[in-house]
């Protein structure tokens, strides 16, 4: 399967995919054909370039309207003919056109146990709420925010010291979540690619 991966930041989930594919080769069942970002100068793009992968950037500010950006992102992605699109820390909400083109083959990873703590601050919100466990969710993207059918989840214990660390601007909990998240994402993407899958309502079946 041809993968386009979308990033906005450090790209460690992207790196995990790059590394697994380098280890397993064709047996993994998927190859990254391009990496897209919503901004320039992020480590995720540098990781892609170091891996010799084509990259593209679609910045909201470069377009007159959000819809124009959504169309540009859809076209830039479509140029690589992906079978699956993976949002790995991509921090923009795509629009109707992107969902029309890639809905049902667009996977996102979120650092909380959806439906709890959706949105851009899932780790912070779980801590603030006093959750004792949190984790990560890999799901198909639908026309909502972090609301699509869940494929897999991983659980991470919240520790007392995470609260102090988080207030100090540290992100010990997010780093622990990301360790689980990277393995989950790589495993899920490989299984979807190798075995194919069915989505019926909120139920995902990997064949
Ligand atoms: C991941 O935890 C993702 O779930 C969240 O942002 C983080 C991105 O990390 N949206 P990276 O860019 O893959 O290192």
> What are the tokens at 26?
């064709």
- pLDDT tens for residues 19-64? 999 999 999 999 999 999 999 999 999 999 999 999 999 999 999 9
Whether residue 36 contacts residue 77, with contact meaning beta carbons closer than 8 Å, is answered with yes
| Cα–Cα distance for residue pair 8/19, rounded to 1 Å | 19
Q: What is the Å distance from ligand 1's center to 11 Cα?
A: 7
Indicate the pTM of the whole model. Answer: 0.97
Instruction: Quote the pLDDT of residue 97.
Output: 98
CA 68 to chain centre: 22
Cis, bond preceding 170 (omega within 30 deg of 0): no
Atom 11, ligand 1: residue with shortest CA distance: 11
Q: Is the ipTM of this structure higher than 0.95?
A: yes
Residue 92 marked ligand-binding? yes
Contact indicator for 91, 120 with CB cutoff of 8 Å = yes
Select from 8, 9, 94, 125 the residue to mutate for testing ligand 1; criterion: most ligand atoms less than 8 Å from CB. Answer: 9
Pairing of strands 31-37, 55-57: parallel
Give the three-class secondary structure for 78. helix
DSSP per residue, 25-74? GGGG--EEEEEEESSSS-HHHHHHHHTT--EEE--GGGSSSHHHHHHHHH
Which one of 63, 110, 121, 163 is the catalytic residue? 110
CB of 129 closer than 8 Å to CB of 163: no
The answer to whether the annotation marks 158 as part of a ligand binding site is no
Element of type H or E holding 206: strand 203-206
> What is the rounded average pLDDT of the residues 12-21?
98
pLDDT per position as a tens digit, 166-196? 888 889 999 999 999 999 999 999 999 999 9
Number of DSSP helices (H) and strands (E) in the chain, helices first:
7, 9
Condensed to tens digits (0 to 9), the pLDDT of residues 86-143 reads 999 999 999 999 999 999 999 999 999 999 999 999 999 999 999 999 999 999 999 9
> Can you name the residues that pair with 198 across neighbouring β-strands?
205
């Amino acid at each position: 399967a041809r993968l386009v991966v979308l990033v906005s930041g450090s790209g460690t989930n992207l790196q995990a995919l790059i590394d697994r594919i380098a280890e397993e080769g064709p047996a993994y069942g998927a190859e990254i054909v391009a990496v897209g970002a919503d901004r320039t100068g992020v480590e995720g793009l540098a990781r892609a370039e170091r891996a010799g992968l084509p990259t593209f950037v679609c910045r909201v500010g470069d377009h007159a309207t959000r819809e124009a950006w959504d169309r540009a992102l859809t076209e830039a992605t479509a140029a690589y003919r992906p079978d699956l699109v993976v949002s790995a820390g991509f921090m923009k909400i795509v629009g109707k056109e992107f969902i029309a083109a890639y809905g049902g083959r667009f996977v996102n990873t979120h650092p909380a146990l959806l439906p709890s703590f959706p949105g851009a601050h899932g780790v912070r919100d779980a801590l603030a709420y006093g959750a004792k466990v949190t984790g990560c969710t890999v799901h198909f993207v639908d026309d909502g925010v972090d609301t699509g059918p869940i494929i897999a989840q991983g659980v991470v214990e919240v520790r007392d010291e995470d609260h102090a660390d988080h207030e100090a601007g540290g992100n010990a909990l997010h780093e622990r979540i990301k360790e689980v998240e990277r393995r989950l994402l790589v495993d899920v993407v490989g299984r979807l690619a190798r075995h194919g899958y069915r989505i019926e309502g909120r139920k995902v079946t990997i064949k």
